[in-house]
Chain A
C-alpha cells in the first residue's frame, strides 16, 4: 500500500493531503506516526489535488512527516455472533481483555436506508413495566423513542429499567441489547456496567464505550458501529435488538466540532446545516423488515441543554423519532420516580401496538381521558396559586385532585417495580373513577360499562 508524506495542513481533527492518486470519498485512512502508531480517519472531501481526512482520534503527534495510507475501502465493521457479551471501545476494538472478534462478516458502517416498501409495520407491544410508558406512551418493536432529559436527572435509571424489564408479553423470542455510550463519564459507564452485570443482561449485550476523555471525533462512528452490529443481530440472526444510545448531545457536539474545523456555513446555534440528515441516518436505522424475524428498537438518550426542548438537538431529534419520553425536573424535585412528564411525551406508534388483541380494547381511550384530566388539573394548579382552592368549582377541584393522584399513583413507581399492562390500565380506571362519569367524554359508554370500577361487576369500590 502506497504511503504519502504530503500532508500540507492539520487543523483540529482534519488533515489535508496533497498530490495523491484518485482517492475515494469516505475511504478509510491510516495515518502512521513517526513512532509507528496508527491513527484512523475517513475521507471527507476528495479532488485531484487535495484530500481532506477526518481523524477519529486526536491529531496529537501527527506532523507533516507522518505517513498517510489510503486503504481503498470505506469503513467496515467486523461482526459476529460472539460479539454478545463483549465490551468494545467507541472505535470498535475490544477493551475487556478478551480476544479479537472473529468476524463472520464485514459490514459497511454507514448502513443503507431500509426501502420503505420493505419495511414491516411495527405492531408488537413492548411492555416496559413503567406505567407512564406502557399506559400513555407505548413503545412498540421497531420504534425509535428517545428520552429527553436534563443534566442531573435520572434518565440512566429509566433507560436501565426499560432495558431490564422490556418484554413482549407471551413471546419467547431471543433478544439482545446493544449499548453505545458517547462521551459519558467513566462513573456513568460503571453504573451501566454494574447494572448489566447485576441482572445478567451483559450476556446478551454488546457494549460500545466512548468515554468523556476519549477522542470526541470517535463519537461520530460509535453509534454507526453500534447500529451496524444491531442490524446484523436483527436482520441476519433474527434477534430483537434494543439499542440504547447515550448521550446524543455529545454526538452532536462532535458533529459541530468537525463542521467548525471544516469552516462550513453553520446552521442554528453553530450546528451544521446537515445535522437533520445526519441524525436521520442514525435514528432511521430502527425498524423491522417484512417477512424477517428480527427488529431494531432504539432508545436514544439526550440531555437538553438548559432543559430547552426547542434547542436544535432535541428539536431535530423529535422531528425524526417516533415520539419522545420527557424526563421532568419538576417531578424529580417532588421526589417522584420515574419523573416522566406525560404531557410533552408522546409515542407516535402507540396506536399500532395497542388495543384489542394487543393490550386491551380500552387502552387508547383510557389514556386519552387521563391525559385530558391531568392536563386540565395541571393548568388549574396555576389558578389555585392565585385564587385559592375555595374559589374553584367542584368540577375543577375534582380535576385538581385527579392531577395529584395521577402523579403519586400512576407516575410514581419503584425502580424495580414491573407493572403489567393490565395493572397499569386498571390503575388508570381507578384514578378516573374519582371523576364524575359524565366527565369521561372521551370514552364510549360500552367501555365505561365494562371497565369502570363503578359498573364493573364485583369490582372493588374506592
Chain B
C-alpha cells in the first residue's frame, strides 16, 4: 500500500487512445514498468518512451477511456506470483485466475478487475528441511509443501544474497506469512515474485540425453524430443496442431506441464479444463490436472495480454524447473503471439520487417526458446524445461517469417501435413519432412532402456518409408503392377508401417498412449513380416500370395488391445506358419 501512495505524486495524464496502445504525458516511467491506466485503473505496461510521451500497451479493452484520465506508475515490472497454489490453476495472459474472475465479474471478461495469481488466504502446511544455523544460498530448498500429489519446494529467491538461517517455522501458513528469517534480518514468506521478461538464473546449461517420452509412436519412435529440448509443430489449420499439443500435455512424461493457449479458441481451453481432471497420469495414476498449469488467453481477449502470456508461462515453468522437476511447456500458438507483437508494433508505427512483423521478431523468438533447457539449478539439482511451440503459418506456407525464424532455433521439427489429415492419417505428421536433431544424443538411452537393436530398427523403418516415397512416384506414372516383385513387397511393408505404426488414434482409450515397449514390439512385428516376405519372395513366392498372408491383417488390432502380448505372439506364430507353407509350396 505504501508503494502506491509514494507513487501518487508521479501521476501522469492520458493524451491519446488508439486501440490497445495509449500515450501518457508527465509520467515518470521506465521501460516495462507496469502502470494503471484511466479511472478504472486498467493494467498496462510501458513499451516506449519518446520525450515526454510514454507509450503504454494496455492489457484490457480501452473503449470509453478519454484523454485527460490519470495514469499511475506502480514502479514494478510485469511479474508473476510464484508459490503454492499454481498447480491446477487456469490463468489469463497476465496471471489473473479465471476462476476468481468468474466469481468477481460473471461469465464474461469485464475490465478493471485485478486478481492476484495465488490465493493469499489459503493456508498451506509448510515443512522445513533446514534448521537454524544452516546456510541458505540463492535457489536453496529450505522447505516443502505438499501442493497436490506434487511436492512444492520453497526456495530462497534466486536474486537474493546468501545468508544463514536464523529461524524457520513449521506448520500452516498463508503464502504471505513470514516463515523464515536470516541472520542478517531478511524475512521471507513462501511467495516470491519474478519479472516475466527476465529468465530465472541457473548454474549451468547441459546437453540433453534423455527423451521426453510422449506415448505417441511417430514422436517417440521416429522423431524424439529430449527433456530440455525444443520442438516446433507447424501446420495449416485443421492439420491437428492442437490435438498433438494436447496429447503431449496429457501423456508426456514430464512432472509438470504448463499449457499456454495463446490467442486460440475458447472452446479448446474448455475441453482441456473439462477433460484433464478426469484423465490419469499414466505414471502416478493421479488426475493429470494436478501437475498442470493452464494459461488461456483466447483470440478475443486483449491482444497485449496475449503478448505477455508466453512469458508468464515460461516463467512459471522455470520456477518448477528450479525445484528440480522436468517441466514441459506447450505454447499454442506462437504465431498468435507473433501477431500480437505485430499488432502492437504497427500501432507504434514502427518500421515493419518481413510481412509486417517487427524487425525484432527473430530475436524475441530465439530469446523465448533459449529459456528451455536441461540445467543444473542453483542448488545443484537437475531440472529441465522442454518447449513445444505450435506454429500456424498463413495458408500452410512454411516459408513465412514465424515458421522460418522458429526453425532456425528449434531442434525438432514435426511437420504437419494437410494432405495426411484430409485422409484422416493422424497424427498428420509428415515422416519425410520432419526431423529430430536429438537422435544422436538419445542413442544411448534407446540402446539401454528400450532395446539394443531399436536404433537400427528405427533406421530401417525410415529407409523403407523413404524408399516408398521414391517408388510412389513411379507408381503414380505406371501403376503398382509394373514394379519389380521385391519392390511391391516394399510398398506393402511401408503401408504397414504407416497404417499400423504411424497412425495413432488419440480418441481410442488404449491407442491414445503407447509406451516404448509396445512401440518396439509393434515395429518388430512389422519387421518380422518384412524379413519373412523378402525371404519368401526370393524363394519364388509371388507378391500377390505375400500380400494375401492373413496373419498380417490381424496386426492393426494390436493397437486397440491393452494386453497385446499373447495376441501378438499368436499373430507372429501364424505369420511364420503361413510363410513356411508358402515357401515350401513355391
Chain A residues with CB under 8 A of B476: 382-383, 386
Closest B residue to A319 using CB positions: B237
B424 touches A285 (CB 8 A): no
Contact of B148 with A by CB under 8 A? no
Indicate if the CB atoms of B346 and A276 lie closer than 8 Å: no
Residue B107 CB within 8 A of the other chain: yes
B101 in complex: contacting residue of A117, A273, A290, A371, CB < 8 Å = A117
Interface pair A25/B63, CB less than 8 Å apart: yes
Pick the contact of B479 from A45, A115, A368, A392 — CB < 8 Å?
Answer: A392
What is the chain A residue whose CB lies nearest that of B422?
A343
B18 touches A273 (CB 8 A): no
Write the chain B residue with the least CB distance to A46: B17
Give the shortest distance, in Å, between A380 (CB) and chain B (any CB): 10
Q: B395 contacts A315, CB within 8 Å?
A: yes
In angstroms, how far is the closest chain B Cβ from the Cβ of A68? 16
CA distance A195 to B416 in the complex (A): 42
Binary contact track A393-433/B, C-beta < 8 Å → 1, others 0: 10010000000000000000000000000000000000000
- Segment among A213-221, A262-270, A328-336 that sits at the interface with chain B: A262-270
Beta-carbon contact of A280 and B296 below 8 Å: no
Q: Does B364 contact A (CB under 8 A)?
A: no
Shortest CB–CB separation between residue A385 and chain B, in angstroms? 11
A310 touches B299 (CB 8 A): no
Also in contact, A320 and B299, with CB within 8 A (given A352-B271, A444-B557): yes
B67 touches A48 (CB 8 A): yes
Question: In angstroms, how far is the closest chain A Cβ from the Cβ of B336?
Answer: 7
Alpha-carbon distance A397/B210, docked complex (angstroms): 47
A116 touches B395 (CB 8 A): no
B557 and A113 form a contact (CB under 8 A) = no
B273 at the interface (CB under 8 A from A): yes
| B479 & A387 in contact (Cβ 8 Å cutoff) | yes
**Which of chain A's residues has its CB closest to B339's CB?**
A276
Q: Does A322 contact B (CB under 8 A)?
A: yes
* Given A22-B67, A26-B63, A386-B477: A322 touches B265 (CB 8 Å cut-off): yes
Q: What 1/0 flags go to B379-411 for Cβ under 8 Å of A?
A: 000000000000010111100000000000000
A364: CB under 8 A from chain B?
Answer: yes
Q: Is the CB of A277 within 8 A of B102?
A: no
Q: Which residue of B lies closest to A262 (CB)?
A: B18
Given contacts A113-B298, A117-B273, A444-B557, A387 and B478 within 8 Å (CB-CB): yes
A193 located at the interface, meaning its Cβ lies under 8 Å from any Cβ of chain B in the complex: no
B285 part of interface (Cβ distance < 8 Å): no
Smallest CB-CB separation from A341: which chain B residue? B422
Which residue of B261, B263, B349, B424 contacts A371 across the interface (Cβ within 8 Å)?
A: B424
Q: In chain B, residues 101-160, which have Cβ atoms closer than 8 Å to a Cβ of chain A?
A: 101-102, 106-110
The answer, among B63, B66, B101, B268, for a CB contact under 8 Å with A110, is B63
| A310 x B397 contact (CB < 8 A) | yes
Shortest beta-carbon distance, A34 to chain B, in Å? Answer: 29
In the bound complex, CA of A441 to CA of B68 (Å): 68
With both chains docked as a complex, state the minimum distance between the C-beta of B338 and any C-beta of chain A, in angstroms: 11
In the complex, residue of chain A having the shortest beta-carbon distance to the beta carbon of B507: A351
Q: Is A95 an interface residue (CB 8 A)?
A: no
With both chains docked as a complex, state the minimum distance between the C-beta of A304 and any C-beta of chain B, in angstroms: 12
Interface flags, B333-348, vs A, CB<8A=1, else 0? 0001001001100100
Residues of B within 8 A of A264 (CB): 346
Do the beta carbons of B300 and A445 come within 8 Å of each other? no
| Contact residue among B98, B394, B479, B550 (Cβ-Cβ distance under 8 Å from A391) | B479
CB-contacts of B63-102 with A (<8 A) = 63-69, 90, 98-99, 101-102
B158-179 contacts to A (CB < 8 Å): none
Across-interface contacts of B440 in A (CB, < 8 A): none
Question: A337-357 toward B: CB 8 Å interface, digit per residue (1/0)?
Answer: 000000110101101100000
B63–A310 touching, CB < 8 Å: no
Contact status B267-A44, CB under 8 Å:
no
Question: Most A CB atoms within 10 A — which of B237, B392, B499?
Answer: B237
CB of A114 within 8 Å of the partner chain: yes
Residues of A within 8 A of B418 (CB): 344
Which of A1-9, A118-126, A164-172, A239-247 is the interface stretch? A118-126
> Given the known A-B contacts A46-B67, A119-B267, A318-B237, are A268 and B355 also in contact in the complex, defined by CB atoms under 8 Å?
yes
Q: Using a CB-CB cutoff of 8 Å, which residues 292-348 of chain A contact chain B?
A: 292, 309-312, 315-316, 318-320, 322-324, 343-344, 346, 348
List A residues 106-155 near B (Cβ within 8 Å). 108, 110-122, 142-143
Closest to B97 in A: A117
Given known contacts A273-B346, A346-B238, A375 and B423 CB-to-CB distance under 8 angstroms: yes
Docked pose: A391 CA to B480 CA in angstroms: 8
CB of B66 within 8 A of CB of A24, answer yes
Q: Is the CB of A277 within 8 A of B343?
A: yes
Asked if B490 CB lies within 8 Å of chain A CBs, one says no
Please determine whether A113 and B271 come into contact, CB atoms closer than 8 angstroms: no
> Does A18 reach chain B (CB closer than 8 Å)?
no
CB distance from B297 to the nearest CB of A (A): 9
Listed residue (B61, B238, B269, B271) with the most chain A CB atoms within 10 angstroms of its CB: B238
Q: Does B16 contact A (CB under 8 A)?
A: yes
Shortest Cβ distance from residue B52 to the other chain A in the assembled complex, whole angstroms: 13
**Cβ A265 vs Cβ B63 within 8 A:** no
A376 — which chain B residues lie within 8 A by C-beta? 423
Q: Indicate if the CB atoms of A265 and B352 lie closer than 8 Å.
A: yes
- Give chain A residues whose Cβ lies under 8 Å from the Cβ of B15: 47-48
**Is A24 in contact with B63, judged by CB distance below 8 angstroms?**
yes
B67 touches A116 (CB 8 A): no
Contacts known (A121-B270, A386-B477); A113 close to B423, Cβ less than 8 A: no
A25–B42 Cα distance when bound, in Å, is 14
B449 at the interface (CB under 8 A from A): no
Chain B neighbourhood of A287, CB < 8 A: 266-267
> Are A116 and B266 in contact, with the CB atoms below 8 A?
yes
Residues of chain B lying within 8 A (CB to CB) of residue A268: 355-356, 394
Q: Is B466 an interface residue (CB 8 A)?
A: no
- The smallest beta-carbon distance between A192 and chain B, in angstroms, is 27
Cβ contacts under 8 Å, B23 to chain A: 47
Contacts of B339 in A (CB 8 A): 273, 276-277
| A274: Cβ under 8 A from any B Cβ | yes
A112 to B102, CA, bound (A): 13
Please measure, in the bound complex, the distance between the C-alpha atom of A289 and the C-alpha atom of B102, giving whole angstroms: 11
Interface status of B258 (Cβ within 8 A of chain A): no
Contact residue among A115, A284, A382, A392 (Cβ-Cβ distance under 8 Å from B98): A115
In the complex, A346 Cα to B48 Cα: how many Å? 43
What CA separation (Å) do A393 and B265 show in the bound complex? 44
B580 to chain A minimum Cβ distance, whole angstroms, is 21
A23 near B: Cβ within 8 Å?
yes
Task: Tell yes or no: A33 within 8 A of B by CB.
Answer: no
Q: Which of B99, B271, B342, B482 contacts A273 (CB 8 A)?
A: B342
Assuming the A-B contacts A46-B18, A318-B238, are A310 and B394 also in contact, with contact meaning beta carbons closer than 8 angstroms in the complex?
A: yes
* Cβ of B434 under 8 Å from chain A: no
Task: Establish whether residues A116 and B560, one from each chain, have CB atoms under 8 Å apart when the complex forms.
Answer: no
Interface residues of B in 452-483 (CB under 8 A from A): 475-482
Contact between chains at B67 and A23 (CB < 8 Å): yes
A111 and B568 CA atoms in complex are apart in Å by 57
Check B394–A273 contact: CB distance below 8 A: no
Q: Does A277 lie within 8 Å of B299, measured CB to CB?
A: yes
List 15 A-B residue pairs with CB atoms under 8 Å apart, sorted by A's residue number: A24-B64, A25-B62, A25-B63, A114-B108, A116-B261, A117-B101, A117-B296, A142-B267, A265-B352, A284-B299, A287-B267, A323-B238, A344-B422, A392-B479, A393-B481
Give residues in A with beta carbon < 8 Å to B: 22-27, 44-48, 73-74, 108, 110-122, 142-143, 235, 264-268, 273-274, 276-277, 280-281, 284-285, 287, 289-290, 292, 309-312, 315-316, 318-320, 322-324, 343-344, 346, 348-349, 351-352, 364, 368, 371-372, 375-376, 382-383, 386-387, 391-393, 396, 438, 441-442, 444-445
Q: A118-B108, A267-B356, A396-B480 are in contact. List 7 more A-B contacts (CB 8 A).
A: A24-B64, A113-B108, A116-B98, A117-B90, A274-B303, A349-B267, A372-B425
Give 10 nearest A-B pairs by CB, closest first. A310-B395, A280-B299, A375-B423, A47-B16, A112-B108, A117-B98, A26-B63, A318-B237, A22-B66, A284-B300
